[in-house]
Amino acid sequence: MKARLEEIKAQALAQIAAADSMEGLNAIRVAVLGKKGELTEVLKSMKDVAPEDRPMVGQIVNETRSAIELELDTKKAQMEKDLREAKMKAEVIDVTLPAKKSELGHRHPNTIALEEVERIFIGMGYEVVEGPEVEKDYYNFEALNIPADHPAKDEQDTFYITGDILLRTQTSGVQVHEMEKGKLPIRMLAPGRVFRSDEVDATHSPSFHQIEGLVIDKNITFADLKGTLAEFAKALFGEQTKVKFRPHHFPFTEPSAEMDVTCFKCGGSGCRFCKGSGWIEILGCGMVHPHVLEMSNIDPEEYTGFAFGVGLERIALLKYEIDDMRLLYENDVRFLKQF
């Protein structure tokens, strides 16, 4: 039996020395020390040993077990140390590598242009207000003097949600919301997103932005409109800018006009930018139609007003000399960073 124990020990130590993985080492532990292991089998034959020899044999068994356990633990610790070292080596950090750049965002040209327009009008005492993008037919058309069968309704290809609810095609409806509040006088600027069922191209998009302006007070005349918008043009495009008003038609203003500014590229002599004319159209405007005032419970005998509508993208494209509106919607940081 002693010889058998010596044999088990020698064999186990040789196997442990040769083991090259944690799994291998565990298998040896189970095969030798486990419940059905070799050493346990030997213990079962203790009953055949003469009683007086049992303490001695027992001691040898214990010594064998301890020796094997010690060897297993030492080898295990060694293996874990080797693994850790290998891992550390593989994980070496090269501090000389260039760092990843974190890209900063950038304000959109639309935002920059809008903030500039707002700054100009706030300086003239205007309040910036907002209205809903999902709108009732009444506010988008009816209350602006565009009744059901009016051709202007077809001009603005409308996205309808129901027969009566639509995505606003213009910010002009905010005028009505403000007038309905019943607080006079009004000096408001209403920027916002509008929607029209248009195909995307260099100058069109199904969704774009307008800035609406409305002034209502006693004794407001066309001279106030001209003076205000001329000041606006100078503040936006430079002191040398001149304006000109061309008669136009909008259902909710009478008289109505479109305003052109002298081309800020050539100063009015004509260039590629203004298509040779020296002028660039920037907004629609007019005196608020008496019927529009009446529908919102304002007495046109007592109060008058003017309104204007500017395309925000148009201002941004002009100011930053961008020739394709699609660039404004792609949000490529390399493009946006230039402004």
Structure tokens at 149: 């069968």
The CB-of-179 to ligand DAH minimum distance in angstroms stands at 12
Structure tokens at 301: 């005998």
309 binds ligand DAH (CB under 6 A): yes
The CB-of-339 to ligand DAH minimum distance in angstroms stands at 25
284 binds ligand DAH (CB under 6 A): yes
The kind and range of the H/E element at 208 are strand 207-217
Binding range to ligand DAH, per CB under 6 A, among 38-46, 53-61, 78-86, 304-312: 304-312
DSSP states along 67-107: HHHHHHHHHHHHHHHHHHHHHHHHT---TTSPPPPPPP---
> Nearer Cβ to ligand DAH, position 68 or 117?
117
The CB-of-112 to ligand DAH minimum distance in angstroms stands at 22
Q: DSSP character for 160?
A: B
Binding range to ligand DAH, per CB under 6 A, among 59-67, 235-243, 261-269, 306-314: 306-314
285 binds ligand DAH (CB under 6 A): yes
Cα separations in angstroms, 215 against 170, 187, 280, 304: 17, 5, 24, 8
> Nearer Cβ to ligand DAH, position 158 or 170?
170
Confirm if 113 and 316 have CB atoms less than 8 A apart: yes
Cα separations in angstroms, 200 against 170, 269, 281, 324: 18, 32, 21, 11
Binding range to ligand DAH, per CB under 6 A, among 123-131, 181-189, 278-286, 327-335: 278-286
Confirm if 268 and 243 have CB atoms less than 8 A apart: no
186-195 and 279-288 as β-strands: parallel, antiparallel, unpaired?
A: unpaired
313 binds ligand DAH (CB under 6 A): no
170 binds ligand DAH (CB under 6 A): yes
192 binds ligand DAH (CB under 6 A): no
Cα separations in angstroms, 9 against 32, 65, 67, 160, 272: 9, 8, 8, 90, 98
126 binds ligand DAH (CB under 6 A): no
Single out the residue of 286, 296, 325, 336 in contact with ligand DAH (rule: CB under 6 A). 286
Binding range to ligand DAH, per CB under 6 A, among 103-111, 273-281, 284-292, 322-330: 284-292
Q: How far apart are CA 26 and CA 55, in angstroms?
A: 30
Single out the residue of 135, 178, 212, 260 in contact with ligand DAH (rule: CB under 6 A). 212
What is the contact surface with ligand DAH in residues (CB under 6 A)? 170, 172, 212, 250, 253, 284-286, 307-309
